[in-house]
Amino acid sequence: MWARQVRQDMTTNYCPNCGNQLDPDATFCSNCGAQVTASPRRSGAMGPQCHYCHAEMDPSQFICPVCGQVIGTPAGVRLADLGRRLGAYVLDLVLVFLTLFIGYIIWWLFTLRWGQTPGKQLLGIRVIRMDGTESGWGWTFIREFVVKVLGVGVSNAIIGFVIPIPVFTFLDPMWAIWDKDRQALHDKVMKTIVVDDREAVQAFRIASESPGF
């Protein structure tokens, strides 16, 4: 049935301006008033004609090989070019990344209150200060963003003039491997340690949600 419809569309003349189906002997479009050319049958053409660019087509084709017009659709509905399809694919990837990133940032801002990042929360570890007190939102924010992100980034930029490798990106977390207190470099700067304290984290949350805390 689709093939029959395509063949019918191929032999039907359409207005090149608005895509309206024309009467066989029409010289003006009844919809928009635009002047139209003679149909292939009236002009003596051997085959059907694209209603957008008027190129002659094979009866078996339903997409114009010249302009990409899809037969049976309003004028201007053509195959999308590969460049725009590639652009849409790239934009989809960017949007997926951005939405995931935004979701992570929101989660991150909530977990900082307990001295955690989303990863630390899932694994039941948290950051405390070396005097045993809670790290809190502000101190953890400075540790995670100002020192780890900005500090390490600036350090890499400075040393990058000598060694074109992000040295501090690897050195910062690896420092905990040989440090006696398992502190990374940013822990040294902020005087913090990371502890496995799942029960204490839960107790602190319950206490913080209690009236008068």
pLDDT tens, residue order, the chain (213 aa): 433 444 444 455 667 677 677 776 677 777 777 766 654 444 444 567 776 677 777 777 777 777 777 777 776 676 777 888 888 889 999 999 999 999 988 888 888 888 888 888 888 898 999 988 888 888 999 998 899 888 888 888 888 777 778 888 899 999 999 999 999 999 999 999 999 877 665 666 666 666 654
CA dist., res. 140 & res. 162, Å (int): 31
The 10 Å Cβ neighbour count of residue 57 is: 21
CB 64 within 8 A of CB 53: yes
The 10 Å Cβ neighbour count of residue 33 is: 10
State both tokens at 114: 């307990």
How many degrees, rounded to 5, is the angle at CA 67 between CA 42 and CA 9?
45
Strands (E), the chain: 125-129, 192-196
CA dist., res. 139 & res. 99, Å (int): 27
State both tokens at 126: 């948290």
Kindly write down the DSSP assignment for every residue of 75-136, as one continuous string. Answer: TT-BPPPHHHHHHHHHHHHHHHHHHHHHHHHHHHHHHGGGT--HHHHHHTEEEEETTS-B-H
Q: What is the model's pLDDT at position 127?
A: 92
CA dist., res. 53 & res. 13, Å (int): 12
Backbone φ and ψ for 52, nearest 5 degrees, come out as -105, -55
Q: What is the model's pLDDT at position 2?
A: 38
Q: What is the model's pLDDT at position 174?
A: 92
Q: What is the model's pLDDT at position 43?
A: 44
